[in-house]
């Protein structure tokens, strides 16, 4: 009987260790509500875009399938619409690859799915990007052409109204280069981007009801704005690990 009890205890310890390990792996792959993290790599749906990086420019339209910024986010959702807050320096200059035709006019080029090779130059005093859903606590991302440009980010509700006085100031150093693109009007310039969490906004009031963000910077050239999440399986690891640890602790008590 004692042998069986000792064996059972050893088995519980092993299962507890396994649960902790699974929990740790889950946390490593889960969204991190940490400070701004630059995008260091991306994958694309165009097979010809093998390794854009720093040496192989993108020449055709292609969509993002994943981004890496501390962790890999492979569930990406683009903004659903955009609206200019005021004219600023938004001149309607469109950005697109050298081998392709011009995209749809205006800000629709930016919010047309996850195509990170079409955008609009110089958004100026502010553009509202809407997600069509509540994004409290979510990881958001954007891709900038050229630059880098420091950008002011503010949370907005579904009507475009600012939420409190919350702000997030991205710095030049935050926008890391992860690819380069040949655009139609000449030149080769980088794509830079970052991921942040809505909890990273600082300010006073109640930070809730976030359904979009306002971006403002005279030289900022957005290519895509969206929501970033890891594979659902990564979050499942967290849940399984947590449940396993809780169950084993209950049995041991």
Tens digit of each residue's pLDDT (9 = 90 or more) over 191-213: 999 999 999 999 998 999 999 99
pLDDT band at 1 (very low <50, low <70, confident <90, very high): low
Q: Which range has the top average pLDDT, 31-35, 116-120, 138-142?
A: 138-142
Whether 130 has a pLDDT exceeding 80, the answer reads: yes
Strand-pairing partners, residue 142, are 194, 225
Answer yes or no: is pLDDT of 19 > 50.
Answer: no
CA 170 to chain CA centroid, nearest Å: 14
Phi-psi map region of 85: left, alpha, beta (phi>0 left; psi -120 to 50 alpha): alpha
pLDDT of residue 14: 54
- Region of residue 223 (phi > 0: left; psi between -120 and 50: alpha; otherwise: beta): alpha
The per-residue pLDDT for 23 is 38
How many angstroms separate the most distant Cα atoms in the chain? Answer: 82
* pLDDT, mean over the chain: 81
Q: Of 54-68, 90-104, 133-147, which has the strongest mean pLDDT? A: 133-147
User: Of the ranges 50-64, 70-84, 176-190, which is most confident?
Assistant: 70-84
Cis omega (within 30 of 0) for bond into 48:
no
Interval 72-81 mean pLDDT: 96
Q: Are 79 and 111 in contact (CB under 8 A)?
A: yes
Please state, in angstroms and rounded to a whole number, the distance separating the CA atoms of residues 73 and 143.
14
| Whether pTM exceeds 0.85 | no
The rounded percent of the chain whose pLDDT value lies above 90 is 50
pLDDT at 103: 85
Instruction: Examine the pLDDT at 124 and tell me if it is beyond 50.
Output: yes
Question: Which stretches does DSSP call E strand in the chain?
Answer: 37-38, 41-44, 64-69, 71-73, 75-78, 81-84, 94-95, 119-120, 124-130, 139-145, 151-156, 168-170, 176-182, 188-197, 212-217, 222-229
Q: How far is CA 86 from the centre of its chain?
A: 26
């Amino acid at each position: 009987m004692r042998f069986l009890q000792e064996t059972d205890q050893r088995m519980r310890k092993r299962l507890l260790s396994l649960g902790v390990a699974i929990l740790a792996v889950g946390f490593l792959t889960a969204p991190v509500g940490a400070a701004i993290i630059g995008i260091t790599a991306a994958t694309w749906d165009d097979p010809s875009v093998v390794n854009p990086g720093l040496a192989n420019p993108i020449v055709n339209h292609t969509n993002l399938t994943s981004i890496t910024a501390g962790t890999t986010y492979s569930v990406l959702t683009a903004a659903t619409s955009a609206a200019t807050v005021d004219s600023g320096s938004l001149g309607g200059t469109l950005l697109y690859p050298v081998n392709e035709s011009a995209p749809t006019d205006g800000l629709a080029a930016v919010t047309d799915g996850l195509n990170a090779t079409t955008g609009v130059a110089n958004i100026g005093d502010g553009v509202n990007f809407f997600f069509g859903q509540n994004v409290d606590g979510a990881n958001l991302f954007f891709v900038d052409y050229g630059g880098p440009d420091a950008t002011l980010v503010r949370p907005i509700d579904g009507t475009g109204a600012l939420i409190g006085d919350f702000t997030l100031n991205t710095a030049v150093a935050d926008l890391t280069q992860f690819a380069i693109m040949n655009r139609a009007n000449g030149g080769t310039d980088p794509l830079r981007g970052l991921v942040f969490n809505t909890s990273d906004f600082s300010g006073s009031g109640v930070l809730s009801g976030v359904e979009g963000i306002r971006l403002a910077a005279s030289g900022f050239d957005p290519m895509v704005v969206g929501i970033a999440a890891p594979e659902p399986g990564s979050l499942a690891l967290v849940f399984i690990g947590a449940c396993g640890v809780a169950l084993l602790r209950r049995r041991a008590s």
